[in-house]
Amino acid sequence: MANEILGHGNCPRIRPISTYDMAKSKFESTKPIRGRTPEVKPLGDERRYTWYEIRKKTIANQAENTQYNTYVCSVYDIDCVEFYPNGDVTLRTGNWRTTCFTVGAMINFVLWHTGKIVSEGGKWYFRNKRGETFRWEGKELRLKRDGEHLVPKDAPVQEYKRVVSRKVMNSLRKKYRPIIEYGRNMLAIEPTFDRLDLEDAKLGVKSLNLLPTYNWIAPNVGENRSRIFKMMDEQIQSGDLELLYDIARYVATSAGQYSYRLEKFVCYPENFTKTFDELLKHEFKDEVFTSEPVDIGVMFNDRNKKYFNQ
């Protein structure tokens, strides 16, 4: 479910602004803050929140030798919402994009009757009152009027979702089936095993990590995984049972957990199979995943993006 960005509440009591005329009226009717320049006017009714401002900007049109005014709602000198005489609205975040930060919340309080910024899967979208949702990429988003509603001025961003190819996954499972079945049978008989002696390093693997967790914990994940799959291919060709046992233990170590009570690693067959599928998706992501276009106006969370963010 999408997260609406509201921060810690509308403490400055910002009133919604829907149009250029409303922004102009707000600016002209607001008294400047005492002791400041006349241009510094508070945006909210709670005037002590002086970092929320409404300002007037003069834009020169050199091609036509004319100029016009825009009205900007800003916070911390970031021009978050800018209203233009032709009805356009530009949104900016100043590169601050978190679900609770002041910038995103202020944009939503200003646009309360017009639309809102929502986040989904770490991505930001603009949703208008018609229910249409548009991806926001880059530093700013320029909107135009479509009747009573705002829509992107430029062509909306086309998004794609990554889908697992069952045919490719089944082909990979078939290729590595001897190793998968060996590991499952080994763990069905005895799910515990001793800590691997990394000092021996006979397999050339630098750590026990084959799947990414946090970069500071497992910096050699990709290298380790590629090394293990190379040894799997060698084992399938040679039939080396000792190598097969070592590979199964390394995969089981990544799939299981260390028990301080038993002073052993513990891994069950179902965890081994599940982890092996994850290894296949990470190692062969370019073959396993295909991209499909998502309908414009629909936001989504690509749950398979983790395989491409390493």
Q: Each residue of 184-205: pLDDT tens digit?
A: 999 999 999 886 655 445 677 7
Across the chain, mean pLDDT equals 87
152, 169: one domain:
no
Find residue 81's DSSP bridge partners: 73, 91
Mean predicted confidence (pLDDT) in 208-235 = 82
132, 271: one domain:
no
Mean predicted confidence (pLDDT) in 255-276 = 93
Q: Residue 273: its pLDDT value, please?
A: 97
The whole domain housing 185 covers 162-288
> Side-chain half-sphere of 298: how many Cα atoms within 13 Å?
8
Query: Does pLDDT of 99 surpass 60?
Result: no
231, 114: one domain:
no
Mean predicted confidence (pLDDT) in 255-262 = 90
Query: Does pLDDT of 288 surpass 80?
Result: yes
Angle at alpha carbon of residue 247, lines to 241 and 249, rounded to 5°: 105
Bigger pLDDT: 205 or 100?
A: 205
C-alpha torsion sign, points 197, 202, 207, 212: negative
Q: Distance from first CA to last CA of the chain, Å, rounded?
A: 25
Q: Residue 71: its pLDDT value, please?
A: 96
Structural domain includes residue 45: yes
Which of 99, 125, 157 terminates a domain? The answer is: 157
141, 248: one domain:
no
192, 152: one domain:
no
Structural domain includes residue 196: yes
pTM of the model: 0.72
Q: Residue 114: its pLDDT value, please?
A: 93
Q: What would the pLDDT profile of 66-94 be if each residue is shown by its tens digit?
A: 899 999 999 888 899 999 999 999 999 87
112, 144: one domain:
yes
* Pick from 49, 69, 2, 281: nearest CA to 162: 281
Structural domain includes residue 305: no
Structural domain total, the chain: 2
Q: Compute how many other C-beta atoms are within 10 angstroms of the C-beta atom of residue 252.
A: 26
215, 266: one domain:
yes
Q: Residue 172: its pLDDT value, please?
A: 97
What DSSP designation does 30 have?
A: S
Which of 157, 190, 210 terminates a domain? The answer is: 157
